Chain A
């Protein structure tokens, strides 16, 4: 198995590699021409392969030849993907490409048909039905149709992820108030979701996803219904939680989101991974992610 080597075996090399990491950085600063790009990809962009300091560099998500099919219909085919901690990953692709399905596999809402997914060092196939909810606590998820609980108030919806973990009520209250203030909805505390606009509901959904300060945030079209002001608020939240060290994965069509956010972007098409781009020191200029210009960029798909 490609990733069976644990980090402990790779430790002796780490001193060398930690030193090594600076070489490509210096090289890229000096010269960003294409000669060094392969080196960049091997040593810097995908350090998970070579195993650096395990906390920082062990991929938080590893997908290994993952497929998903409904009956005969293949929705995802042979996806192999490592996601480093603290990545801000955007998943794009035409509608029906399998973005939402990919996210659902990650938060264990459905099982893989083939392949394996390792999240935070845990093989998700080994998580029992009973343990799944507990396992999901490392995630914050913004679902595609918000999926707010209509019989609960805004406060109770946002408090739910903390309540299920048995947090103290005063702590919950403080945290929920703070996050609702951050999204500008503290005055709608006792409102029911039905009485809110689509954009407001979506903001609540984002608040619920990040209220627990999760290590991993998954969001399915989180800015789909937002006006640009609301979208900015939301994007700031994502950026904030990313800066705090979380890994953020967003499936989106949203141009502004793609332009402004993220340090990695993958493209799905008909269930296949067709593009994988870094938006970092390797590609410092503002990259145009129009689907036509994807072809011109170097793809990392193995």
Chain B
């Protein structure tokens, strides 16, 4: 069987059954958007977590009555600690300006404040090998005991609590992906079945003039794979559009190193496309088998 003629027959089929093919493609695209969005959140959160693990960030807030000399002493003490990779002093004025940049349009809210509510602080990044919760809390305690320090905050507390949730979310994600994969396969199966039913007389005639099962079903399989690919591309395209929209809203990179969201990695998009095509193929397999056995 010549490939081009099979492709031609598949495309003619798609044209002749435009509406149900469109429904199948849209369903697949919808599935891709849901699953893709999930995967996107997932990879980003993982990214953040990894990032947070790589360089644990600790904020040391100072008491308001600290003098400049005292601040200098505290700075020395922090810098001499072996766990510290680097340390940056953030003055209360600096904190205020940072906040204004972050809030962009809502600066009037801050302008209304008569006094600057931010304390002076040190922003500390720990060395990469200091990422065990025990080490971190020990470090935080040490910092807290320095005189002039009001309190110490670190994201790790929040991250550790989050780890449990992450696992649950991961499970839900797998279930979601499986569900939508099955839904896609099912909708393609349904389409293929409708195509088959609408062409029963034609298929019977083809058999009578010598068409094998393979000759008859190959274009239908191809149709399923094309549906999967089209749906996958459409879904990824729409997802990318959504991503761009979202990224521009959040103002990607406003706080360096933290609120950057990125799109799905290339590998993942390829896997999604492959999964769509496989779903299309499996759908056809499900639909076509009973007809060929009859």
Do A and B interact?
yes
Stretch of B28-36, B202-210, B247-255, B279-287 on the interface side: B202-210
Which residues on B sit within 8 Å (CB–CB) of A141?
208-209
> Does A270 touch B at the CB level, under 8 Å?
no
> Does B89 touch A at the CB level, under 8 Å?
no
Are B5 and A169 closer than 8 Å at their CB atoms? Answer: yes
Give the complex CA separation of A153 and B149 in angstroms: 87
Q: A163-B5, A169-B2 are known contacts. Are A137 and B210 too (CB-CB below 8 A)?
A: yes
Which residues on A sit within 8 Å (CB–CB) of B213?
130, 133
> Does B73 touch A at the CB level, under 8 Å?
no
Q: A149-B202, A151-B202, A163-B5 are known contacts. Are A136 and B212 too (CB-CB below 8 A)?
A: no
Are A149 and B2 closer than 8 Å at their CB atoms? Answer: no
> Does A12 touch B at the CB level, under 8 Å?
no
Binary contact readout A114-146 vs B (1 if CB under 8 angstroms, 0 otherwise): 000000000000000010111011000101000
Are B208 and A136 closer than 8 Å at their CB atoms? Answer: yes
Which residues on A sit within 8 Å (CB–CB) of B72?
none
Question: How many chain B residues touch the partner (CB < 8 A)?
Answer: 17
B interface SS class:
helix
Are A149 and B205 closer than 8 Å at their CB atoms? Answer: yes
Nearest chain-B residue to A137 (Cβ)?
A: B210
Which residues on A sit within 8 Å (CB–CB) of B212?
130, 133-134, 164
Give the complex CA separation of A164 and B217 in angstroms: 12
> Does B175 touch A at the CB level, under 8 Å?
no
Q: How many A-B residue pairs have CB under 8 A?
A: 56
> Does A72 touch B at the CB level, under 8 Å?
no
Which residues on A sit within 8 Å (CB–CB) of B207?
132-133, 136
> Does A147 touch B at the CB level, under 8 Å?
yes
B 181-238 contacts with A by CB, 8 A: 199, 201-202, 205-213, 215
Chain A: minimal CB distance from B9 (Å): 9
> Does A68 touch B at the CB level, under 8 Å?
no
Are B208 and A160 closer than 8 Å at their CB atoms? Answer: no
Are A143 and B202 closer than 8 Å at their CB atoms? Answer: no
Which residues on B sit within 8 Å (CB–CB) of A151?
16, 199, 202
Give the complex CA separation of A33 and B107 in angstroms: 123
Give the complex CA separation of A152 and B199 in angstroms: 12
Are A164 and B206 closer than 8 Å at their CB atoms? Answer: yes
> Does B266 touch A at the CB level, under 8 Å?
no
Chain B: minimal CB distance from A206 (Å): 13
Give the complex CA separation of A161 and B201 in angstroms: 16
Are B202 and A133 closer than 8 Å at their CB atoms? Answer: no
> Does A208 touch B at the CB level, under 8 Å?
yes
Are B209 and A161 closer than 8 Å at their CB atoms? Answer: yes
Give the complex CA separation of A152 and B201 in angstroms: 13
Which residues on A sit within 8 Å (CB–CB) of B205?
143, 147-149, 160
Are A164 and B202 closer than 8 Å at their CB atoms? Answer: no
> Does B165 touch A at the CB level, under 8 Å?
no
Chain A: minimal CB distance from B59 (Å): 71
Which residues on A sit within 8 Å (CB–CB) of B210?
133-134, 136-137, 161, 164-165, 212
> Does B1 touch A at the CB level, under 8 Å?
yes
Nearest chain-A residue to B205 (Cβ)?
A: A147
Are B2 and A166 closer than 8 Å at their CB atoms? Answer: yes
> Does A56 touch B at the CB level, under 8 Å?
no
Are B208 and A143 closer than 8 Å at their CB atoms? Answer: yes
Give the complex CA separation of A48 and B199 in angstroms: 43
Which residues on B sit within 8 Å (CB–CB) of A178?
none
Chain B: minimal CB distance from A183 (Å): 17
Binary contact readout A243-257 vs B (1 if CB under 8 angstroms, 0 otherwise): 000000000000000
Are B215 and A164 closer than 8 Å at their CB atoms? Answer: yes
- One of B1, B16, B201, B202 near A166 (C-beta < 8 A): B1
Which residues on B sit within 8 Å (CB–CB) of A168?
2
Binary contact readout B243-262 vs A (1 if CB under 8 angstroms, 0 otherwise): 00000000000000000000
> Does A238 touch B at the CB level, under 8 Å?
no
Chain B: minimal CB distance from A190 (Å): 14
Chain B: minimal CB distance from A107 (Å): 7
Give the complex CA separation of A163 and B12 in angstroms: 15
> Does A109 touch B at the CB level, under 8 Å?
yes
Give the complex CA separation of A149 and B16 in angstroms: 14
A 185-217 contacts with B by CB, 8 A: 208, 212
Which residues on A sit within 8 Å (CB–CB) of B215?
133, 164
Question: Which residues of A pack against B, CB within 8 Å?
Answer: 107, 109, 130, 132-134, 136-137, 141, 143, 147-149, 151-152, 160-161, 163-166, 168-169, 208, 212
18 A–B contacts, CB within 8 A, in A order: A130-B213, A133-B208, A133-B212, A136-B207, A136-B210, A143-B205, A147-B205, A148-B205, A149-B201, A151-B16, A151-B202, A160-B206, A160-B211, A163-B5, A164-B206, A164-B210, A164-B211, A166-B2
The 5 A-B residue pairs with the shortest CB-CB distance, nearest first, are A164-B211, A137-B210, A161-B209, A164-B210, A149-B202
13 extra A-B contacts, CB within 8 A, seeds A133-B212, A151-B16: A107-B208, A130-B213, A132-B207, A133-B215, A141-B208, A143-B205, A149-B202, A149-B206, A151-B199, A160-B211, A164-B206, A169-B2, A208-B209
